[in-house]
Amino acid sequence: MSKIVFITGATAGFGKACAEKFAANGYDLVLNGRRTERLQELAEQLEKKFNVAVLQLAFDVRDEKAVFDSISNLPLEWKNIDVLVNNAGLALGRDYFEEASLEDWNTMIDTNVKGAMYVAKAVSQLMAKRNASEGTTGHIINLGSVAGKEVYEKGNMYCASKFAVDAMTKAMRIDLLRHNIKVTGVHPGAAETEFSLVRFKGDEATARSIYNGLQPLTAEDVADAIYYTTTVPTHVCINDLVITCTQQANAIYFNRNPG
Ligand code: NDP
Ligand code: 8X3
């Protein structure tokens, strides 16, 4: 029987690259995102290319009821989730604390903290039940960020949301220990996805400028690292993985090429 991976935020960036990576390795996939046409297109492409089964589960992770209803009503054969890539998230704006938009802050907290919390809780309940009845393990991978390790200027509530993800990850690892559920935090640095375009609300020039003089991570680099954490032996758990491009030391220090 194939293993099942559940990926939130699979319509772009890391989530989409993870879908491709896990499918290439024979996993069946539950794919989430809000943009249903993208989900549909990706599902068809992966089913055809890798001969895997794909279940599309479109919901907004901020919608508590939709998250719990969608996950508790999964068809029985899809409830056996082996790996959760808890990835959906975003940054909005990069402004001084007193000038930043409250609406942006609420959206980041609702998505990155509360959304990730709802999904992790709903899936961990399924994994715990399965462990009790079948003795299987589960693996939850939360997407943090280098922004959840150090705070940078104008990063304020995005950083705060990712510090919360880091704390939640550590807490989950303790509380889920008795169910044999592995919990991993993956914390990437600058990676060129749709992330900056979303952060700067469609301003392509500003989004591109974030990567000036850098060879940033790609979505595939991050997906490879995420997948790697699932390949170690059952008795091994990678707790925390911080991954940057070689020209980045942490959330603050870069070595950019001139020009
Ligand atoms: P992208 O913008 O490329 O992709 C984000 C994904 O999240 C999309 O599939 C989007 O789907 C989904 N998403 C956003 N909001 C919601 C929501 N409310 N409900 C469901 N899905 C949602 O960004 P990345 O792939 O780069 O980012 C993925 C994660 O990695 C985020 O948590 C981000 O904070 C984190 N990260 C990113 C870094 C980077 O530099 N790129 C570095 C470190 C961490 P849709 O719009 O269809 O719902
Ligand atoms: C995204 C990385 O440095 O833009 O989490 O905050 S950064």
> How do residues 180-232 score in pLDDT, each as one tens digit?
999 999 999 999 999 999 999 999 999 999 999 999 999 999 999 999 999 99
Average pLDDT value for residue range 42-65:
98
3-state SS, residue 197? helix
Domain ranges, ordered by start, for the chain: 4-243
CA-nearest residue for atom 6, ligand 2, is 147
Q: Are 193 and 222 in contact (CB under 8 A)?
A: no
CA of 13 to the centre of ligand 1 (A): 7
SS3 sequence, 147-197?
A: HHCCCCCCCHHHHHHHHHHHHHHHHHHHHCHHHCEEEEEEEECCECCCHHH
Q: Are 14 and 193 in contact (CB under 8 A)?
A: yes
> What percentage of the chain exceeds 70 in pLDDT?
100
Residue 63 has pLDDT above 90, yes or no: yes
Q: Are 230 and 176 in contact (CB under 8 A)?
A: no
Q: What whole-number distance in Å separates Cα of residue 255 and Cα of residue 234?
A: 38
Residue 259 has pLDDT above 80, yes or no: no
Q: What whole-number distance in Å separates Cα of residue 37 and Cα of residue 49?
A: 18
Please state the atom number of ligand 1 nearest to the C-alpha of residue 38: 47
Please give the model's pTM, rounded to 2 decimal places: 0.98
Strand order in the sheet with 28-31: 54-56, 28-31, 4-7, 83-86, 138-143, 181-188, 240-243
| Residue to probe by mutation, ligand 1, list 7, 16, 87, 169, most atoms within 8 Å of CB | 87
Burial of 14 (0-12, 13-18, 19+ CB in 10 A): buried
Residue 221 sits at the vertex; the CA angle it makes with 216 and 224, to the nearest 5 degrees, is 165
Average pLDDT value for residue range 244-257:
98
CATH no., domain 4-243: 3.40.50.720
Give the residue from 169, 137, 180, 185 showing the smallest Cα distance to 3: 137
3-state SS, residue 182? strand
Confidence of residue 28 (pLDDT cuts 50, 70, 90): very high
pLDDT at 103: 98
pLDDT at 258: 83
Give me the chain's average pLDDT, please: 98
Confidence of residue 1 (pLDDT cuts 50, 70, 90): confident
Quick check: is 27 catalytic?
no
Q: Are 23 and 46 in contact (CB under 8 A)?
A: yes
Q: Residue 46 half-sphere exposure, CB side, CA atoms within 13 Å?
A: 29
Q: What are phi and psi of 189, to 5 degrees?
A: -95, -155
The structure tokens 């993800």 sit at: 165
Q: What whole-number distance in Å separates Cα of residue 27 and Cα of residue 87?
A: 17
CA-nearest residue for atom 41, ligand 1, is 191
Residue 136 has pLDDT above 90, yes or no: no
